[in-house]
Structure 1
């Protein structure tokens, strides 16, 4: 797949020629290592970080081998890649170092060049190296003004990828129907945390959003730039917010799509988003009911929702077997809600069809029918979530979230939250309130980033976003008085710009990126009128 929209579908299932070597000039290097700000982002000159900001980047081909499809797409788009050396621990710059992989597509309109635009697709822990080639077409004329910078954040992809050796992918699971199933989850999540600590304990304390933001500023300095523009989706909005707060004055244009409220950022991100998930599922159910002859899930919204409930109840009695060799999977009641939740992050026709096919397969399994051949997309979702193939993804997601903010450690608190939520949200309450590996992680070394500096950012949000709810974007907008809020009304969609096909949203973002001028006031786009 070679489009940003296709890349977004892959991400939401769990859930974007240079030959000269650049060297920071002394003037730029001095700016890069100025006095520290109140949030501890920058380091004072002479503390040992100068060599990172002054480093010389060796630009080369992005292709690592014959099977490197993303590298070939980058090369086709004119990108080159380099490794940026950063300290593992910014308080010990003479200690162990890491390499952070970056890519760059240079600006073609050199006369009006703005500077570098760093891109982050979210995650946490999403690989951003290939994003410049994916986002460039969506930017249209604005793309020619920027050096587009992709990055694999520390311990992601080509940047010393973390792998805890788990037998599963992301550890997002439902608590199931009763206390016994919850206790199995407690043991399961504790086992994941223990294994990650045993295999990677020495580096886990340094896998944080704040350290990634520090890496971003080293990248800015190594590129020889005074300011860095930024485009981030989902978790990438929190990373971008952290950067602006830790390094005020070092950013230019900032776009935050599907924003998180920094005050409620923590490993339990989905807690409190049950209503949005219920609505997204209900809207999909109405769509599926109108296509009963295709998917056989029910002729009314209520009948389709009853089918979903029947699937989950059946999986609580015995695991559902789906697929044919070599892709055979057994899903219990801790996993079927995860599959449903993964499919409602977007309300495009293509994504709704994919979920229709998936639920149809699960419904047949719930009825005891023989295993069904899975679509390539559904098999990929299950491999990523339920097998060791997804271990690196789950490992880095947990490491970042657990390393950023502490969560309650008493399982009883999670159980009480589950029971309080179950009555109103029987499907998603036990999922979004369940205990996770972070309950058994070591405590973070730093306090979370606080919003103390106003930022004139463009915040993009859909009213029906089931991942990062619209209320989070509104809250961030209120914390940043100089920002502007671009709302897409009527869409159950997570991440919009360049992915959803909203001309209104795309044109507004591109106008801001091209001119640096925010809209005069907050703007609302209507889904059906695009």
Structure 2
């Protein structure tokens, strides 16, 4: 899998309120245990001990079974943060920012007003949580910082595509997988989206909500759709923004994303050519050819950075993809390309570091990359059909000629210590409430066709289209989308299926 399924790396800031209403007198409600199996009652009946952790924020941990099929075989901890409704309380709203591996805890605690709009903040307790394997919850742990640097940025031995090159990558992947197994305390077989969806129902119940209100971005759409499949009667107000098609196999995911990023690159270059700062000139096709030449040059001769790292073409592609998540980041891509042309890769490294959660001091901020690997290796069946792989690469070459030369390599999940348990099937969620699916027409990471497909699969799916660039559509400055989402979550007003927001 490529980086496109991960949560977008953007600069976020928390929000402050000049006038803060009094907090509710009661901050803990009675857990909802209706219909719970006896062996799960100890989990569903636990009372949440909220502790203050900021202005109108409080935090807690919830205990969940390690193995939902065998709840007596161990426990894990799930970290939650809550921002209490500033006005009339309407219920809880769970948030997942994507990934898999993105921290919902940090997303809500650090950037509440980016996660949701002001009307949602007024009416809901906004709940951020770290899914199992992620961040402050019982987490996947793999490599230390130095080893992670070598894995992410090291120059791979051998000519790209050669047997020597593939052997070197396989050896790196094997080392990574073995480290995850050794350092993760036995949780790897249970890091799956199905288990995470079951955790989410537990969170709903201990918060005292009879039904789930949920907003999921990117991978969070797959988590939300999986929840709706497992618990359709409780899935009443779900918004899935920037959808993943749950029926698409891994090879097709990669090929489709490659085309999405190629389209976003062309949109960026077209915009760039209209600015004085653009390092390219001429027509769009000429600019694209020049960018392809730049990548080829880096592939032949990696560019040294001031900290001793070498800018490889893989790192340059990662930095480029990071900036393509949002049109707001396009100026940084212009800066990065201009600097690389002058022999300075520091800006491109900063973009790649942002994607890899590597801080300016060289320390890794979170375990999102490790969790990303763990979920994908358990959720996606391994595809080892050479003919299918060849056909997929042919599609990539057709739809993404810029990225195709660097979209290859052995599947890192081939070395994962546990076989995958997930399947790739359509999700209908029969019996659920309306589920609003938002698709952005030129979303590079979760292409619009996936949102169309998911909305069609869901028995009660409703498609809202944002016409524009970038990853995800809600709370991105489009009042049509925002009104549709907030009217649905707050008032239960279902948007017109097929609503198109220019």
User: Cα distance 1:266–1:87, how it changes in 2: closer, same or farther (>3 A)?
Assistant: farther
Match of 2:454 in 1: 476
Q: Is 1:393 aligned to 2:368, yes or no?
A: yes
User: Cα distance 1:496–1:380, how it changes in 2: closer, same or farther (>3 A)?
Assistant: same
Inter-partner Cα distance in structure 2 for 1:493 and 1:342: 11
Q: Is 1:30 aligned to 2:38, yes or no?
A: no
Q: Is 1:429 aligned to 2:367, yes or no?
A: no
Once the 2 structures are TM-superposed, how far is the Cα of residue 411 of structure 1 from its aligned partner?
7.3
Inter-partner Cα distance in structure 2 for 1:430 and 1:197: 32
User: Cα distance 1:318–1:373, how it changes in 2: closer, same or farther (>3 A)?
Assistant: closer
Q: Is 1:261 aligned to 2:238, yes or no?
A: no
Question: What is the number of residues matched between the two proteins?
Answer: 475
Once the 2 structures are TM-superposed, how far is the Cα of residue 242 of structure 1 from its aligned partner?
0.5
User: Cα distance 1:92–1:410, how it changes in 2: closer, same or farther (>3 A)?
Assistant: same
Inter-partner Cα distance in structure 1 for 2:399 and 2:453: 25
User: Cα distance 1:126–1:172, how it changes in 2: closer, same or farther (>3 A)?
Assistant: farther
**Residue-by-residue CA offset, 1:292-330 (whole Å, 9 max, x unaligned):** x424233432333233212211122221123x3xx4531
**Which region of structure 1 is more displaced relative to structure 2, 440-449 or 257-266?**
440-449
| Contact preservation (8 Å) 1:22, 1:223 | yes
Secondary structure of the corresponding residue to residue 311 of structure 1: helix
Inter-partner Cα distance in structure 2 for 1:194 and 1:165: 10
Match of 1:298 in 2: 281
| Contact preservation (8 Å) 1:259, 1:468 | yes
**Which region of structure 1 is more displaced relative to structure 2, 407-416 or 427-436?**
407-416
One of 247, 253, 270 as aligned partner of 1:286: 270
| Contact preservation (8 Å) 2:440, 2:470 | yes
| Contact preservation (8 Å) 1:174, 1:338 | no
One of 71, 78, 81 as aligned partner of 1:100: 78
Inter-partner Cα distance in structure 1 for 2:299 and 2:191: 36
One of 297, 302, 307 as aligned partner of 1:314: 297
Match of 1:143 in 2: 121
User: Cα distance 1:257–1:446, how it changes in 2: closer, same or farther (>3 A)?
Assistant: closer
Once the 2 structures are TM-superposed, how far is the Cα of residue 162 of structure 1 from its aligned partner?
1.9
Once the 2 structures are TM-superposed, how far is the Cα of residue 12 of structure 1 from its aligned partner?
9.5
Match of 2:48 in 1: 57
User: Cα distance 1:239–1:205, how it changes in 2: closer, same or farther (>3 A)?
Assistant: same
Match of 1:70 in 2: none
Q: Is 1:168 aligned to 2:148, yes or no?
A: yes
Q: Is 1:204 aligned to 2:210, yes or no?
A: no
Once the 2 structures are TM-superposed, how far is the Cα of residue 384 of structure 1 from its aligned partner?
3.4
Match of 1:273 in 2: 257
Inter-partner Cα distance in structure 1 for 2:190 and 2:326: 33
Q: Which structure 2 residues correspond to residues 361-372 of structure 1 after superposition, within 5 A? A: 361-365=339-343, 371=344
**Which region of structure 1 is more displaced relative to structure 2, 389-398 or 95-104?**
389-398
Once the 2 structures are TM-superposed, how far is the Cα of residue 156 of structure 1 from its aligned partner?
1.1
Inter-partner Cα distance in structure 2 for 1:141 and 1:288: 35
Inter-partner Cα distance in structure 2 for 1:437 and 1:407: 10
Once the 2 structures are TM-superposed, how far is the Cα of residue 241 of structure 1 from its aligned partner?
0.4
Inter-partner Cα distance in structure 1 for 2:339 and 2:457: 45
Inter-partner Cα distance in structure 2 for 1:443 and 1:508: 41
Inter-partner Cα distance in structure 2 for 1:309 and 1:446: 37
Inter-partner Cα distance in structure 1 for 2:365 and 2:408: 22
**Which region of structure 1 is more displaced relative to structure 2, 356-365 or 240-249?**
356-365
TM-score by length of 1: 0.81
TM-score by length of 2: 0.85
**Which region of structure 1 is more displaced relative to structure 2, 423-432 or 120-129?**
423-432
| Contact preservation (8 Å) 1:415, 1:434 | no
Inter-partner Cα distance in structure 2 for 1:207 and 1:431: 29
Secondary structure of the corresponding residue to residue 92 of structure 1: coil
**Which region of structure 1 is more displaced relative to structure 2, 381-390 or 217-226?**
381-390
Root mean square deviation, CA, Å: 3.2
Q: Is 1:118 aligned to 2:94, yes or no?
A: yes
| Contact preservation (8 Å) 2:83, 2:127 | yes
Once the 2 structures are TM-superposed, how far is the Cα of residue 280 of structure 1 from its aligned partner?
1.0
Inter-partner Cα distance in structure 1 for 2:248 and 2:152: 20
Match of 1:384 in 2: 357
| Contact preservation (8 Å) 2:140, 2:370 | yes
**Which region of structure 1 is more displaced relative to structure 2, 257-266 or 457-466?**
257-266
**Residue-by-residue CA offset, 1:48-104 (whole Å, 9 max, x unaligned):** 210000001111023xxxxxxxxxxxx13x111110001111122222211101111
| Contact preservation (8 Å) 1:268, 1:433 | no
Inter-partner Cα distance in structure 2 for 1:11 and 1:243: 27
Secondary structure of the corresponding residue to residue 513 of structure 1: helix
Q: Is 1:507 aligned to 2:490, yes or no?
A: no
User: Cα distance 1:341–1:426, how it changes in 2: closer, same or farther (>3 A)?
Assistant: same
Which 5+ residue runs of structure 2 have no aligned equivalent? 1-5, 16-22
Which 5+ residue runs of structure 1 have no aligned equivalent? 1-6, 34-44, 63-74, 366-370
Once the 2 structures are TM-superposed, how far is the Cα of residue 177 of structure 1 from its aligned partner?
4.9
One of 220, 225, 238 as aligned partner of 2:209: 225
Match of 1:157 in 2: 135
User: Cα distance 1:379–1:267, how it changes in 2: closer, same or farther (>3 A)?
Assistant: closer
| Contact preservation (8 Å) 2:98, 2:216 | yes
User: Cα distance 1:410–1:10, how it changes in 2: closer, same or farther (>3 A)?
Assistant: same
**Residue-by-residue CA offset, 1:454-481 (whole Å, 9 max, x unaligned):** 3411111111111111110000111124
Inter-partner Cα distance in structure 1 for 2:229 and 2:486: 24
Once the 2 structures are TM-superposed, how far is the Cα of residue 150 of structure 1 from its aligned partner?
0.8
Inter-partner Cα distance in structure 1 for 2:469 and 2:200: 31
| Contact preservation (8 Å) 1:174, 1:334 | no
